[in-house]
């Protein structure tokens, strides 16, 4: 876990910055951009690491056609340490001590399944409990030269009283080498029965020196979104 001063300083810099405009992605000072991933559903993600963070921690910036809308920080076990939602002005942080069973990427790799039960607290004084599991399917795929493995997941979200807020289920991809999840298909349903579906699988990967590295403009499925042909996307993962 990195020092509290650095965490607050970097979060303030990220939260205070304006939406990304078309052009090259520039991580905060002291940070290094490592991967740019073009995703389905008119999104692009830029993955960077920072010198002041704990080993294995990484940040991910998500942008759509209007600019950056979500930033998250995960650790070596892919726990959702911190996230910033631009449109809501919301900052969520993992309550490690208050969580019954924190997520473990190591457990997923070792046994093929990881069950979790953790709590996120936001700057509005709210807490959400996430209870669910990830399970490898055994399917291995290669996307744009990057080896990935498919993973099923299902979770439910509860408020502090134990009332169900929503459920999420679907498939994702994992990279063993980079210890990270990438999206795929997801069904999101709230407590009122409203349902949305998303398809946010990676399409291309760009590393330093590659064409498309540091892009901030998404390339795929943007015309479909503009014409209303794409289903309503589910909330982004942390």
| Local confidence band at 67 (pLDDT 50, 70, 90 cut-offs) | very high
Asked whether the predicted pLDDT for residue 200 surpasses 90, the reply is yes
User: Global pTM?
Assistant: 0.84
Asked whether the predicted pLDDT for residue 231 surpasses 80, the reply is no
Q: Which of 18-27, 94-103, 148-157 has the lowest mean pLDDT?
A: 18-27
Residue 110, classed as helix, strand or coil, is helix
pLDDT by residue (tens digit) across 4-58?
Answer: 222 333 444 444 444 444 579 999 999 999 999 999 999 999 999 999 999 999 9
Q: Residue 99: CB partners within 8 Å, gap ≥ 6?
A: 117, 118, 119
Q: Residue 121: CB partners within 8 Å, gap ≥ 6?
A: 92, 93, 95, 98, 127
What is the structure's pLDDT at 23? 75
What is the structure's pLDDT at 15? 43
Q: Enumerate the domain spans of the chain.
A: 4-226
Asked whether the predicted pLDDT for residue 3 surpasses 60, the reply is no
| Local confidence band at 169 (pLDDT 50, 70, 90 cut-offs) | very high
% of the chain beyond a pLDDT of 70: 84
- Own/partner long-range contacts of 24-30 (Cβ < 8 Å, ≥24 apart): 24/214, 24/215, 24/216, 25/61, 25/214, 25/215, 25/216, 26/214, 27/59
> Which phi and psi angles does 77 have, rounded to 5°?
-95, 10
Query: Pick the residue with more confidence: 10 or 163?
Result: 163
What is the structure's pLDDT at 223? 84
**C-alpha of 157 from chain center:** 16
| Local confidence band at 224 (pLDDT 50, 70, 90 cut-offs) | low
The mean pLDDT value for 55-71 works out to 96
Mean pLDDT of the chain: 87
């Amino acid at each position: 876990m990195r020092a509290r001063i650095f965490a607050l300083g970097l979060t303030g810099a990220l939260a205070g910055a304006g939406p990304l405009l078309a052009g090259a992605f520039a991580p905060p000072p002291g940070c290094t951009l490592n991967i740019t991933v073009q995703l389905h559903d008119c999104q692009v993600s830029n993955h960077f690491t920072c010198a002041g963070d704990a080993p294995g921690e990484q940040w991910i910036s998500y942008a759509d056609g209007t600019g950056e809308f979500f930033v998250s920080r995960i650790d070596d076990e892919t726990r959702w340490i911190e996230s910033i939602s631009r449109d809501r002005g919301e900052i969520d942080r993992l309550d490690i001590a208050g969580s019954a069973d924190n997520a473990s990427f190591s457990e997923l790799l070792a046994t093929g399944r990881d069950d979790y039960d953790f709590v996120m607290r936001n700057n509005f004084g709210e807490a959400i409990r996430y209870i669910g599991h990830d399970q490898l399917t055994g399917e291995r795929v290669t996307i744009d030269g990057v080896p990935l493995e498919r993973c099923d997941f299902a979770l439910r979200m509860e408020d502090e009283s134990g009332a169900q807020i929503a459920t999420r289920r679907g498939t994702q991809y994992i990279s063993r080498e980079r210890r990270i999840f990438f999206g795929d298909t997801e069904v999101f349903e709230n407590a009122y029965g409203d349902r949305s579906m998303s398809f946010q699988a990676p399409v291309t990967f760009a590393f330093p020196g590659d064409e498309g590295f540091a892009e901030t403009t998404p390339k795929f499925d943007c015309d479909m979104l503009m014409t209303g042909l794409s289903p309503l996307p589910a909330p982004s993962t942390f």
